[in-house]
């Protein structure tokens, strides 16, 4: 891949340090405002121009344009899953070939690599960057904006961390969450257990039924993940809740699973069930990435593509019919975990890959 000047790994590491040390937990608007300013500052310093902070109830999104007719959107997010104070316990660290710290892999490393990759291009017209503030919590405030810019640009490169082994993400499952609330009736567990309606027992019935909604052969997973019930050991529980994670590969499965949740009925007389939620991120079919992945393979022979279970904002852009390639961010691992890391040896190659893709798309 030919770029006008090589990237500096040392400079990338320092910019990554800057972003990591401005903690950016989702839903903390004040922290995200500081993070957005840091992201905007790095973009402006490396690329010139003006990065606009787009205010939202979730925090500021960062949007930058290289001018000219838009042809490619570089898409990512600057919010992380880690609460304030994580940095004190797990500071930004460079050791050997690894950088560690909260958010380095998901996905602050991808932001830095993309910016430095674009900086190697003398002509940055036709390129837009959008870094949202709420991807980790569903992209409710940013979805309309990112869809608008994706349609305007016509191609999307998503900076989420690479798949295992450094592969690109060429397909993603649709995903969502459901909350099943159960109302029963409290009574004394010793004196009048039969006078109550045990919401915990009803929840147990529902969990078993819900777990049966999965179809592994069709790529559908339905996983109860959080449950709560009861107040005291001698009180028949009057309330219970069950939260369920759902992943699907097709719209047909999305419709089937949503219908199954809507049809849930109580097993115990007197129990009542309320279901909230849906599959909010549509599936990203591999066909959406096929053309862009072919370009990436020409630029970096041997790179692999993988369909993965996790969702991203690429699900939304692919559902619009906009060509979308994901997993272009950092090579590493441990997303959302304490051992999260980025491999330093891959940073320059990934920056160059983004630059090469942008140059190819702009030329096309």
- The predicted-structure confidence for 236-255, as pLDDT tens digits, reads as follows 999 999 999 999 999 999 99
Q: What pLDDT does residue 6 have?
A: 85
Mean pLDDT of the chain: 96
Q: What pLDDT does residue 153 have?
A: 98
Find the mean pLDDT for residues 205-223.
97
Answer yes or no: is pLDDT of 312 > 60: yes
**CA–CA gap between residue 52 and residue 128 (Å, rounded):** 11
pLDDT-derived band at 133 (thresholds 50, 70, 90) equals very high
**CA–CA gap between residue 66 and residue 47 (Å, rounded):** 8
| Residue 74 neighbours by CB under 8 Å, 6+ apart | 114, 118, 127, 128, 129, 130, 157, 159, 354, 358
Q: Where do the H-state alpha helices sit in the chain?
A: 9-20, 29-47, 86-89, 109-119, 143-153, 199-211, 251-262, 290-299, 314-319, 347-363
**CA–CA gap between residue 31 and residue 119 (Å, rounded):** 27
**CA–CA gap between residue 120 and residue 350 (Å, rounded):** 13
Q: What pLDDT does residue 4 have?
A: 42
pLDDT-derived band at 13 (thresholds 50, 70, 90) equals very high
Beta pairing class for 52-54 and 168-172: unpaired
**CA–CA gap between residue 297 and residue 2 (Å, rounded):** 15
Find the mean pLDDT for residues 184-212.
98
**CA–CA gap between residue 296 and residue 283 (Å, rounded):** 22
pLDDT in tens, 19-67: 999 999 999 999 999 999 999 999 999 999 999 999 999 999 999 999 9
Q: What pLDDT does residue 2 have?
A: 36
pLDDT in tens, 96-111: 999 999 999 999 999 9
pLDDT-derived band at 364 (thresholds 50, 70, 90) equals low
Answer yes or no: is pLDDT of 87 > 70: yes
Answer yes or no: is pLDDT of 325 > 90: yes
Answer yes or no: is pLDDT of 194 > 80: yes
**CA–CA gap between residue 347 and residue 161 (Å, rounded):** 11
């Amino acid at each position: 891949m030919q770029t006008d000047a090589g990237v500096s790994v040392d400079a990338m590491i320092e910019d990554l340090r800057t972003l990591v040390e401005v903690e950016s937990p989702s839903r903390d608007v004040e922290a995200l405002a500081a993070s957005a300013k840091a992201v905007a500052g790095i973009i402006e310093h490396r690329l010139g121009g003006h990065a606009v902070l787009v205010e939202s109830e979730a925090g500021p999104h960062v949007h930058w344009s290289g001018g000219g007719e838009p042809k490619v959107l570089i898409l990512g997010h600057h919010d992380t899953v880690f609460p304030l104070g994580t940095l004190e316990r797990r500071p930004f660290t460079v050791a050997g070939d690894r950088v560690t710290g909260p958010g380095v892999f998901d996905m602050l490393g991808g932001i830095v690599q993309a910016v430095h990759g674009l900086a190697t291009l003398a002509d940055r017209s036709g390129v837009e960057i959008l870094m949202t503030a709420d991807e980790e919590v569903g992209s409710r405030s940013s979805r309309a904006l990112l869809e608008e810019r994706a349609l305007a640009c016509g191609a999307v490169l998503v900076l989420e961390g690479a798949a295992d082994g450094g592969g690109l993400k060429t397909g993603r499952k649709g995903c969502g969450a459901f909350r099943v609330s159960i109302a029963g009736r409290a009574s004394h567990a010793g004196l009048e257990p039969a006078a109550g309606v045990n919401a915990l027992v009803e929840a147990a019935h529902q969990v078993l039924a819900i777990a049966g909604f999965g179809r592994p052969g069709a790529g559908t997973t339905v996983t109860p993940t959080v449950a709560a019930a009861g107040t005291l050991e001698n009180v028949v529980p009057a309330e219970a809740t069950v939260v369920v994670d759902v992943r699907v590969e097709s719209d047909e499965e999305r419709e089937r699973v949503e219908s199954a949740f809507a049809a849930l009925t109580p097993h115990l007389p007197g129990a009542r069930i309320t279901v909230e939620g849906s599959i909010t991120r549509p599936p990203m079919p591999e066909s959406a990435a096929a053309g862009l992945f072919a370009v990436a393979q020409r630029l970096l022979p041997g790179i692999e593509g993988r369909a993965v279970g996790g969702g991203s904002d690429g699900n939304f852009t692919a559902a619009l019919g906009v060509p979308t390639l994901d997993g272009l961010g950092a090579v590493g691992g441990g997303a959302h975990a304490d051992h999260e890391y980025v491999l330093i040896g891959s940073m320059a190659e990934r920056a160059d890959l983004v630059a090469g893709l942008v140059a190819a798309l702009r030329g096309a």
